[in-house]
Structure 1
Amino acid sequence: MNNSTLNFTTPETSTNSTVGPLDYIEISALSISFLFGVPTNVYVLWLILTGTGSGVASEFFMLNLSVCEICTSLNNLVSLLPFYVASLKLLPMFLQGLILTGRPLFQCLICVEHYLAVVHPVTFLKYKPLRYRVICCAVAWIITLGSCFYCLFIVIAQNTQAEISFFSTHFLLLTFFQLFFLVAILRALKQSGPGGRGREREEENHMKRRAFYLILITTVSMTITYAPYAITGFSVLLTGQNTHIYWVPASICYILAGFVQPILYLHRAGNISWLCYP
């Protein structure tokens, strides 16, 4: 695809206006992301702002992640426009920073928040006020904006190797960072702590099982989201073969995995009843 969610085609292929079968597959994935991603994340945003869930303060990271996901879904629509309006080809390249940095950063903040709540509850209560979350999100948005300008600079410079090295290393480091905290949470949840008797202990174990499966689903989704792009990127760097067919599976995994976090939030808010785990 000439201008996809992440433009990793070579300069030679980017000048080719022919749309092949792989392009139609990726166009379908981008369309699904836009048609379902925008309303889903807007609904999550509305639930947080109206206080239907746990409130804005406790869900502030999720609120910012939803805003980032909405922008990402809109970028998927913008990525289709260069097929018809060539002058817009630089806009999706600039918005790549949201995909490369925005989503992973806010997911990392959510992982750290869950880690502190489970493993270090005293520290979590100390930094629970909203002002700390606002500061973290402000820094995350500044870093994301810098990533947008960096992505645009790389594309203008037509340095494909630098682009692939940047996003591969970026995804790999953020994946290890998130997995470290998620695995630590899973280990803490598996340890049996002191509880009450009878019904109280049963309710505590039930809540721990639900939290365990929630974090387990999040861990698997994180791996599916970022690992394919990192593996494909390093494979291209090592082999020197940059063919568009290599990127399609990773792109589809990244697009579809973006629905996991909003669906899990809607489930926790009681708006989805068909998603069940022990």
Structure 2
Amino acid sequence: MNNSTVNFTTSETSNSTTSYTILIDSLNIFMYCIGFIFGFPTHSYVLWLIVTGSSGVAASFFNINLAFCEIGICLNCLVYAISYCFFSFSNVKQFFVGLTITGRPLFQCLICVERYLAVVHPVTFLKYKPLRYRVICCAPAWIIILGSCLICMYTLNEKGRYLYTWFFSTQFLIFLSIQLFCLVAVLRALKQSGPGERKKEENHMKRRAFHLILITTASMAIIYGPFTIIGFVTIVVNELIDPLWFAGFTCYVLAGFVHPFLYLLSTGKISCLSLPKYVC
């Protein structure tokens, strides 16, 4: 093979790689923009509805923290989109990845555990129902999220990629396991008959809690299931497969709208469909 053939082949391969990289980057920017443009106003509106609602701040305190976390994730999507043009934002975007991999699933788990206690251990739930106990739970939760943000900032690079992949994949498995435990426990409690005249009322409460946990668990499975599988595949093959990561990221962005959409349906803010009020 002469030199001219080698140069032509190298040039063609380089152009193909460049085009492939530009395509993946463009698709990522598009999904980041979708996450910010639709997510930021939606989660802000949900937060406003919760704060100004009649149920009170104490009853929805975990939802308020989750909404704040979701708004931070949406802002991070904007930072990620901008960082493709301005590389100075790299440390900022890496720091707030902790909200993505720890903040959202952690507060979703707290919501499910709260519903689990309300159904399976009502006496314990009533004992720890006041707002101060929810604040006590959220304080270490935010400390954990801050620690996750710091870990992401120092491991989300070429050298720490292996550690970061193990970190978020293990987290997703733990959070999803907690969700499944709450789901199964509430389902078992739902099958048990309530005493006397309160049977219908208790079954309604159990069904409401079960539906909430089921929806949250299903959305978490869609959001984090692909990322978990892709993470372990990346660890095994020791190679980043960009199309797989983009597919997981697409599931993450789109499934992230499930919870606020159902909340808006349950509060009657979206009147085109009807849905029982078991999400709020």
Give 1:132 deviation, angstroms: 0.6
Provide structure 2 residue ranges, at least 5 long, that are not aligned to the other structure. Answer: 1-17
- 2:66, 2:108 within 8 Å by CA — same for their partners in 1? yes
Report the CA distance shift for 1:55/1:268 in structure 2 as closer, same or farther (over 3 A). Answer: farther
- The percent of aligned pairs where both chains have the same amino acid is 55
Give yes or no for contact 1:47–1:53 (8 Å, CA) kept in 2.
no
Higher-Rg structure is 2
Instruction: Answer whether contact 1:108 1:177 (CA < 8 A) is retained.
Output: yes
CA distance in 2, matches of 1:17, 1:94: 29
> Which residue of the partner structure matches residue 31 of structure 2?
29
Counterpart for residue 172 of structure 1? 173
Matches within 5 A, 1:70-81: 70-81=71-82
Q: Which has the higher helix share?
A: 2
In structure 1, the gaps of 5 or more residues are 1-15
The aligned counterpart of 1:4 is none
Provide the C-alpha distance between the structure 2 equivalents of 1:143 and 1:209, rounded to a whole number of angstroms.
Answer: 31
**CA distance change for structure 1 residues 214 and 241 in 2, over 3 Å: closer, same or farther?**
same
Could you tell which deviates more after superposition, 215-224 or 92-101? 215-224
Distance in 1 between residues matched to 2:274 and 2:28, nearest whole Å: 27
| Distance of 1:114 and 1:66 partners within structure 2 | 18
TM-score by length of 2: 0.84
4+ long deviations beyond 4 Å: 16-19, 200-211
Offset of residue 84 of structure 1: 1.0
RMSD: 2.3
In 1, Cα distance between the equivalents of 2:270 and 2:122? 29
Query: How far apart are residue 213 of structure 1 and its match?
Result: 3.4
- In the other structure, the counterpart of 1:107 is 108
Contact 1:186 1:215 in 2 (8 A): no
Change (3 A) 1:205 1:112: closer
Render the CA deviation track for 1:108-146: whole Å, top value 9, x for unaligned. 110110000111111000000100101111111111111
Separation (CA, whole Å) in 1 of partners of 2:186 and 2:203: 15
- Using CA pairs below 8 Å that are at least 6 residues apart, which structure has the higher relative contact order? 1
Give 3-state SS (helix, strand or coil) of 2:184's partner: helix
Who is 1:124 aligned against?
125
More displaced 10-residue stretch of structure 1: 78-87 or 216-225: 216-225
TM-score by length of 1: 0.85
